[in-house]
Each structure stands twice: as structure tokens, then as C-alpha cells.
Amino acid sequence: MHRTNRRLLAWDRPRQQAALYWLILLLPLPLAIYALGLGRYAIPPQDVVRALYDYLVTSREAAFEPDVVYNVVTRIRLPRIAAALLIGGNLAVTGTAFQGIFRNPLVDSNILGVTSGAGFGAALMLLLTGNPLHVQVAAFGFGLLAVLTAYTISRLYASAPLLVLTLVGILVGSFFGSLTSLLKYIADPLDTLPAITYWLLGSLADVTRGDVPLLAVLSLAGMLFLWAVRWRLNVLSLGDSEALALGLNPTRLKLLIIVFSTLMTAVAVSVSGVIGWVGLVIPHAARTLVGPDHRRLIPATIMLGASFLLAIDTLARTLWSSEPPLGVFTGIVGVPLLLVILRVNKTGWR
Amino acid sequence: MLQAENLHYGYQPGQPVLRGVSLDMAANSIVYLLGHNGSGKTTLLEVLSGVRQPQQGSVRLNGADLFRLPAAQRARRVGLVPQTHAPVFAYTVHDVVMMGRTPHLRLLATPDRHDRVIVDEALALVGLEDFRHRPYTELSGGEQQLVLIARGIAQQTDVLLLDEPTAHLDPRNQQMVLETVAQLAAVRVAFVISSHNPTSALLYADQVVVLKAGQVLASGTPGEVLTEEMLSRSYDMPVEVLYNERQVARAVVPRRVNGSDSKANGTGFSA
């Protein structure tokens, strides 16, 4: 029983375990309220709450009242913070779903090439037009195109479809990666190249109110779907033949999960650019804290991912006047975090 | 009840694993599947479970074609307990057994209190009540096997296919599992058990099927099939059947190839 201490967090005390689970689920709310108050114009939490209340319940926008607090909270900071929460939740939960269906704790939703495709689409438009809307649409479209290509090619091989799909996904991903490098090579080093590089490292600095609705709809629909199949994800993670023996149709269900996850990742990347590590680190962290059962893991990863990206983005936004890209930050914070998690608790997977 | 007819299956073209296997089992019976390594036992179980579609032949359960049933309906009638199982994530014993309830869940539902009662009963049947919160990945091979058997029981099927269920178990747990099987068979479930242990077939089987190189070498009651001649042919080695004082077959044991007798010759010293 000498190992018990190491697993305190994981399974041994159901009541603490439940408390921790609910703490994780509620974590984004206080974080968001705190973050909405942070910035060059500091706002105390109670004023943030009042502004949010007005915005959500009484809908003051029609009242035409020139209220600085209200405007800063709802017009300037809320879109960015909502995007951080949604994108963080997206990347984390799709990472969890992919780790489950691919039975591999070392993959995230980029394994089928969605991020690489999106990166290429964005780079292409930054090079051709520079119009932010074009960049977003192209990122989304090429992200989907990459996965669709991988899927179509893998259908040509009848045996072991998922294995082939993974392999082809990696290949398509590196193909688009090379195309992106080519675009960077021919891009103007003073103007376009920095824009491409910056986009590829991810940022929420340019999020506008118009970005939020599509992001919210696709993200929430995807999260709802993954939550709905939470029990089936447990069964799928046993492998195809056991899932079949237990009455699931693994091929169809995995395809659905891939479709939803790809849409979620593509829309996230199209808004924020490429943000690495969240989809890999957060599922591990969540598994350490609440265990591998997807009934708890799915909600926990959504909320933990949302909290993580919000915290990182708030740091990036408030610590420096020139914002460092998020992709850099998530790696710098994410790698040590993952190392600590693996040291503290080894039982989440294996 | 479960009827398989003329099953053919091969993983690679030109390398058949099953070559025209037929099987007819009665309700509430225990069928033992014997045969050398690679004789096709596991493949046959997978075909009978509906997980693996045969290239030729049919499997019928109470007249219904198994491969035409929707997956969940099929899994409510036939269950497969695999011999090995390598989970990536450290689910608790309780969760692993609960996965047996999956075919009974409505679309998008998760297990409820009723399912938990069934899981607790299944765990009690294999003596694992105290293991429910342990991570499955930290159990010994034998304990993992018991968990999978509990999962099969929790699935509450009409037919349960067990792939070498006692391979990793100590004698006491072997007996416990097989007695549980016998109890369940008496009430509601029919079992097909693949095994390398003809002696337990003598004790528990209603019907014995011997496979050799993908074909049925023999099929019938234990008394008809478990003979020295048949088993020696099946395993390509000399086998001896031991009888008790009432001339009832009690054990199947190997013989030395050179014909020599047991080394325990009564004195503890070789003569």
C-alpha cells in the first residue's frame, strides 16, 4: 500500500474526488470574472458581475448608456475571453476523444492533419490577400480538406482502416506542413513572413465579436456530442473487437467522433491560429485528477482546457505590453506541467 | 439454440483458419472446445459471437441470423470473454465490468442504479467485491481474467463464449469460475468454453468439440469424445485417460514420449 500516497488525487478517496471534480467544473467561472477585470483598465469583480448581468439579463445595449465598465467588459474583453474558454475546451476535449478512439495517450486532434491544413490555408491567404476574413475561412476550409483527404485516401486500403487513416493523416499533415514552409520561403520577409509566423504560433489578440457565434455554435455542439457519447468512449477505448462484442458499431461511431472533433478543431484554429499542447497536456492532467472514465473525463477536460487557455491568454495579455504568441506560451507552461503530472501520478493511463 | 453451419474463415486468402466447422448446441448446455494451438478455437469463438463475419456459412441463434441483427441486439444475446485484453487507460474494476452493460443501454444513456446492482452481483459471483475501486491495470493476470468473466456475466446474454477462461487462474479460482459457469448454465446461460484442459471438460462439459487444423475432428458427449485415441490424435501426442474405481474417466494426462511412467514411483527414489 506504499503507493497509496501517490494516488491520493486519483481514486482512493471518493468524497475528495467528487469535490475536486466539481471544483474543476466550476473553475472557469471565477477565472473568467477575474480575467474580465484584468487589463490596462482594471475593474473590480463585482462591477464585472454587474456588467455581465446587465448584458445577459437586462440587455442594456438598447439603453444607449455610455458606461465605460460595461463597454470594456462586454465589447472588448468578453469576446476574447469567451474565445479563450471555447477554444481551450475544444482543443482539450477533442484531444481526449482522439486519445480514446486511437487508444493512444500521445495523440491529439491534429493527428489527422487538421491543424497543418488550416495553417496552410491561413498562410496562403496571408500571402495572397491579407484579409482576416479570408484567412479565417481558408484556415477552416483547408483544415477540413486535410482530414477529408486523409480519410479518402485511407478508404482505398481495406484492411485496418484506422491504422491506415492515422498514417495517412500524418502524411497529409506533413505534406501541408511542407507547403506552408514553401509559402514562408516565398513570402515577403518584412511583412508577410512575420504575419504567417505569428499566426502559426497562435494568438487571441485579434478576436472580434463577430468571431464568437460560429465558434460558439460548433464548439458547444461538438462538446455536447462528445459528452453524449461519453460512455461509448470508454467502450471504444477497449479496441474495435471488444467494442463490437459489446454491441457498438465502432467504425461508424469513430467516424462521427472524428467529424465533430475535426469541425471543432478547425473552427478553433481558424479563430486563434495554431495553439499546441492544450490537446495533449490537458487530457493527461484531467485523467490524473478525475480518472480515466470518460463520464467524468469529458466534462473535466472541457473545463480544465477552458481554464488553462484562459489563464495562459490572460497572462500573455497582461504581463507584457507586446503580447507573446500563445503557442509559445502553452509549450513553455505545458511541458513542465506534463512532466510534473507524470511524476506525481502514473496511473491515469498505461 | 446456437447453430453454426459450414463456417469458413481465413485471415489471409489461401490460408483458411476455419474449414467447414458446424456446431449445434442446446440451451443451458456447456460446450467445451478443445484443440491444439492454432486449431481455430479463438477464431471460431469470434465468429460465433458475431464479431467476425465468416467468408462462408451461417450462425443462427434461435433461428435468427446473427450477422443480420443490429450490433446491440446481438450483444444482448451473445457475449464474448476474450482471453487477453490490454486496456490503455486504468479503468477501475467496477467500470470494466460495467462496460458489459453497454448493449442494454439506450442510445446515449449511461449506466444507472439497476446496472450497478447487476455489476455488483457479477463481481460477487467471481469473488471480486473488494476489488471494485482498484485500477484494472494493476491486477494480476488471473484477477484480470476474473474481471472479464464478471463483465461477460453482467452482459446477461443467452450464450456466453469464454476464450480459455481459466488459463491464468490458480486451481481454486478455476474451480470457482467453472462452478459459477455450471450454476449459470443450470439457470439461463449456455456456454462455449475453449480450453486446453480436457480434465475440466470431463467434469463440466455437456458436449465436447475437438478442432484440428480448422475442422471438427470429433463432437459429442465427453464419454464419446474424451478417449485416449481421440485426444492423442487431436494433440498429436500420447495421452492417457485415468479412471476412478467406478471406471468413470476422471482425468486426462500426458504420457512421456518414451513410454516411461511417473517419476513418483512410490519410494521417492528411482529404482
Which residue from A228, A237, A246 is facing B100, i.e. has the nearest CB? A246
Q: How far apart are CA A90 and CA A77, in angstroms?
A: 20
Residue range B181-239, pLDDT digits in tens: 999 999 889 999 999 999 999 999 999 999 999 999 999 999 999 999 999 999 999 99
In the sheet that B15-25 helps form, which strands lie side by side, from edge to edge?
Answer: B15-25, B2-12, B56-61, B64-65
Nearest neighbour of B74 by CB, restricted to A12, A231, A247? A247
Residues in chain A with CB shorter than 8 Å from the CB of B102 are: 231-232, 235, 246-248
> Residue A91's domain spans which residues?
13-106+206-344
User: How far does the CA of residue B135 sit from the closest CA of chain A (Å)?
Assistant: 8
Please enumerate in sequence order all residues whose Cβ is within 8 A of that of B165, keeping only pairs 6 or more positions apart, or say none: B81, B83, B145, B149, B177, B181, B193, B195
User: How many domains is chain B partitioned into structurally?
Assistant: 1
B118 domain residue, yes or no: yes
C-alpha–C-alpha distance, residues A238 and A349, integer Å: 13
Whether the pLDDT of residue B159 is over 80: the answer is yes
Band of the pLDDT at A10, cuts 50, 70, 90?
Answer: very low
Q: Is the pLDDT of residue B271 over 50?
A: no
Give the residue from B47, B49, B88 with the most A CB atoms within 10 Å of its CB, the best one to mutate: B88
Q: Note whether residue B263 is domain-resident.
A: no
Which of A234, A241, A290, A342 is the mutation pick for testing B, counting most B CBs within 10 A?
A234
Cα A282–Cα A288–Cα A223 angle in degrees, nearest 5: 45
Return the C-alpha cell found at B187: 439457470
Poorest-pLDDT segment among A4-18, B77-91, B143-157, B239-253: A4-18
| Helix A192-201, helix A114-128: angle, nearest 10 | 160
- Could you tell me the three cell numbers for B215? 475442422
- The pLDDT value recorded for residue A3 is 43
Beta-bridge partner residues of B240: B253
Of the CA atoms within 13 Å of residue A194, those in its CB half-sphere come to 3
- Label the pairing between strands B56-61 and B64-65: antiparallel
Q: In this structure, is residue B93 part of a structural domain?
A: yes
- Assigned domain for B196 exists: yes
The verdict on residue B67 lying in a domain is: yes
**Is there a contact between B75 and A237 if contact means CB atoms under 8 Å apart?**
no
**What number is the average pLDDT over the span B13-35?**
93
Averaged pLDDT, B142-146: 90
Give the CA distances from residue A271 to residues A22, A147, A228, A275, A330, in Å, rounded to whole numbers and listed in that order.
29, 18, 26, 11, 17
Question: How far away is chain A from the Cα of B227, in angstroms, using its nearest Cα?
Answer: 34
Q: Which residues pair with B162 in a beta bridge?
A: B81, B193
Q: Per-residue b/e over B150-173, b at no fewer than 16 CB within 10 Å?
A: bbbbbbbbbbbbbbbbbbbbeeeb
pLDDT at position A350: 43
Residue A327's CATH number: 1.10.3470.10
Task: Give dist(CA A317, CA A324) in Å, integer.
Answer: 8
Contact B90 A350 (CB under 8 A): yes
* CA of B27 vs chain A CAs: smallest distance (Å): 21
Would B249 be classed as within a structural domain? yes
Q: What is the pLDDT of residue A157?
A: 75
Query: Hey, how many other C-beta atoms are within 10 angstroms of the C-beta on B60?
Result: 15
Q: Tens digit of pLDDT for each residue in A171-209?
A: 999 999 999 999 999 998 898 999 999 999 999 988 999
Query: How many domains, in total, are found in chain A?
Result: 1
Does residue A106 contact residue A74 with C-beta atoms inside 8 Å?
no
Quick check: is B264 in a domain?
no
Residue A39 placed within a domain: yes
The dihedral through the CA atoms of B193, B196, B199, B200 has a sign that is negative
The CA-based angle B10-B14-B16, given to 5 degrees, is: 35
Q: H helices within chain A, ranges in order?
A: 14-26, 28-37, 45-53, 68-71, 78-101, 114-128, 132-155, 161-186, 192-201, 212-228, 230-236, 240-245, 250-272, 278-290, 294-319, 326-344
- Cβ–Cβ below 8 Å for A295 and B110: yes
The length of chain B is 271
Query: Are the Cβ atoms of B109 and A231 closer than 8 angstroms?
Result: yes
What whole-number distance in Å separates Cα of residue A222 and Cα of residue B154? 32
Complex confidence, ipTM: 0.89
Chain B residue with the nearest C-alpha to that of A349: B89
Q: Which amino acid is at A338?
A: L
How far is Cα B101 from Cα B94, in angstroms, rounded to an integer? 11
Residue A83 to residue A89: CA distance in whole angstroms: 10
The alpha carbon of residue B157 is apart from the nearest alpha carbon of chain A, in Å, by 11
Looking at this protein, which amino acid is placed at residue A247?
G
Transcribe B93-138 into DSSP letters: HHHHHHGGGGGGSPTT----HHHHHHHHHHHHHTT-GGGTTSBGGG
- pLDDT at res. A5: 44
DSSP state for residue B142 in the 8-state scheme = H
Q: Using the structure block, give the residue that is written with the C-alpha cell 462496460.
A: B99
